[in-house]
Amino acid sequence: MDRFKLEKFRTLIEIPSFLSLFSVMVQLPVFTNLVIYRTCYVTLGYDKSECALLGTGHKDNLTDNLTQLVEPDANYLILYIQLPSGFVSSLMGLYIGSWSDKNGRKPVLLLTLGAQALASAMTAFYCLFPNMSPWFLLATCIPAMVTGGFAAMLTLYLSFITDITDEHTRGTRLGSFEITFALGSLLGTLASSYIFKAIGYAGVFLVSTGFMLAALCYTLFIMKETLSQSQMEMLSDEHEQSFTQQLKSMTACALKRRPRYDRALILLCIVITSLFVFALLSDLGVVQLFLQTKFSWSMTQFTIFSSSKDFLSIIGTFVGIYGLHTKLAVTESVMILVGLISSFSSALVQGLADVDADIYFAGVLRFLSGCVNPMVRSLISKVAQPDEIGKIFSVSVMCQSILLLVGSPLFTEVYNESLSTWPSLYNFVTAGIYFSAIILTIILIIIRVKSAEEPKFAVFQDETATPSELFDDVNSNTNA
């Protein structure tokens, strides 16, 4: 029995994923405040005591005017920090998924966790020098950037779950993973402002470093490698491929012709999840600034709201995955549609909000949004062959990263240009992206209805096709 329990812990990827996301989220609101604070008095030269009031919920004309002056510069600096990191991480994340298929999940996961821990430690060190320019924060992103960052870490976690589940249990396990991520986000965000009040900027990033190191130690000493030597040797002939060849191989895998409409399903899933993550994360980049500007929220108010929203997401994901999908057998495609409608309505209400209660109502409407990603991943895993899933997840994460490279400057520009007149405008841009994903999901549902059988792990030999052929896959059974 003890050995059985130990084996269970050796495949419990939820533990390091919780620790790593807690580490990321505990520092995220503080990082935004740090950039605003340093930009205010170091870069722009305003009074340090007045700059310290930004993000505290203090309301007077001086603070409001200062916010209007500082936020555009701070927002651009955050953008410049995100852009190179996102670009390199998207390329590295693409390569890492395929590389881990051939060389194992653990080594790459340990590398990414170690790099994330080093980045947090470097930021803590930066905080010890109060007059250092915020532009030096660009250097703290380098370790995570060159190892794929959060995109690579997410790809590896998803590939790990694929390794240890079958098509019948995968949807539930991906839902559990999504809940774990939401829980890490909830507790990390909630703890952020209180840790900051207790031990300051450097303390927050040291706590973040500690949790990331805990995730690394759990992975190193307890987690087991989920790919056998024989599985890794199956792809050993591709071991010496160049990066360009790897890129071509993974792209060809996603575009490969398949029975029935399976290729169209995979491509639609990639686009839908990319649009969803694009809207979700682009919104996260400016929502804290938006709430500080329009509603004069403090960092504590923002973290309480974010934590409440994450808690509802956990409940909604459980209800959606376990209650609707597992017990009531609602299909993945319908669950994706429900989650996107939940996100779309939330963005609309947030854009129309005039009082704090409206913002909380928008958070409630996002109740089932956590169902989108696990259901998309579950559907992909049922359509693709087992040895292709790592590649397809890597292509998906790369597409998300590329869209975020577009989304970050887009949302920054929209927010900065409308800051003095209509700061809510960016919410309607977000809603428009969700609406596009809803239309694509309706097309996906129609395609699923047209498919006479459940997807099987079969592919045609030719690897690529012209755009006009992508939705013209023919069921090979009809030609038999």
Higher pLDDT, 172 or 442: 442
Residue 232 CA to its chain's centroid (Å): 27
* pLDDT number for residue 427: 92
* Phi, psi at 419, each rounded to 5°: -60, -45
Q: What is the mean pLDDT of residues 215-232?
A: 79
pLDDT band for 128, please (50, 70, 90 cuts).
very high
* pLDDT number for residue 213: 97
Q: Judge whether 424 and 289 are in contact, CB under 8 Å.
A: no
d(CA 282, CA 83): 12
Q: What is the mean pLDDT of residues 286-294?
A: 84
Q: How many CA atoms lie within 13 A of 52 on its CB side?
A: 7
* pLDDT number for residue 230: 61
Q: Which two tokens stand for residue 272?
A: 């839908």
Among 230-244, 294-308, 367-381, whose mean pLDDT is lowest? 230-244
Q: Which two tokens stand for residue 42?
A: 């170091």
Tens digits of per-residue pLDDT, 76-121?
888 787 777 666 766 666 667 667 767 778 888 898 899 999 999 9
Q: Determine the straight-line distance between the first and last CA of the chain, rounded to whole angstroms.
A: 51
d(CA 329, CA 459): 27
Choose the most confident range, by mean pLDDT, from 206-215, 282-291, 385-394.
Answer: 206-215
* pLDDT number for residue 464: 42
* pLDDT number for residue 237: 52
* pLDDT number for residue 423: 87
Q: How many C-beta neighbours within 10 Å does residue 15 have?
A: 16
Q: How many C-beta neighbours within 10 Å does residue 245 have?
A: 11
Q: Which two tokens stand for residue 457?
A: 């792990």
Q: How many C-beta neighbours within 10 Å does residue 268 have?
A: 25
Q: Which residues contact 69 (CB under 8 A, 6 or more apart)?
A: 44, 46
Q: How many C-beta neighbours within 10 Å does residue 141 have?
A: 20
* pLDDT number for residue 3: 55
295: left (phi over 0), alpha (psi -120 to 50) or beta: alpha
Residue 411 CA to its chain's centroid (Å): 17
Higher pLDDT, 361 or 457: 361
Planar angle of CA 346, 349, 351, nearest 5 degrees? 110
Judged against a pLDDT cut of 70, whether residue 145 lies above it is answered with yes
Higher pLDDT, 207 or 159: 207
Tens digits of per-residue pLDDT, 390-441?
778 778 877 877 787 777 778 878 888 888 788 899 999 999 999 999 999 9
* pLDDT number for residue 269: 93
**H-helix segments, 128-169:** 137-140, 142-146, 149-164
Judged against a pLDDT cut of 90, whether residue 32 lies above it is answered with no
Higher pLDDT, 341 or 172: 341
256: left (phi over 0), alpha (psi -120 to 50) or beta: beta
Mean pLDDT across the chain: 81
Name the burial class of residue 433, with classes exposed (0-12), middle (13-18) and buried (19+) by CB atoms within 10 angstroms of its CB: buried
Could you tell me the domains of the chain? 12-222+250-456 (1.20.1250.20)
Q: Judge whether 326 and 171 are in contact, CB under 8 Å.
A: yes
What is this structure's pTM? Answer: 0.71
Tens digits of per-residue pLDDT, 443-457?
999 988 887 554 444
d(CA 104, CA 114): 17
Name the burial class of residue 165, with classes exposed (0-12), middle (13-18) and buried (19+) by CB atoms within 10 angstroms of its CB: middle
Name the burial class of residue 60, with classes exposed (0-12), middle (13-18) and buried (19+) by CB atoms within 10 angstroms of its CB: exposed
Higher pLDDT, 416 or 319: 319
Higher pLDDT, 259 or 214: 214
Burial letters 172-184, b for 16+ CB under 10 A, else e: bbbbbbbbbbbbb
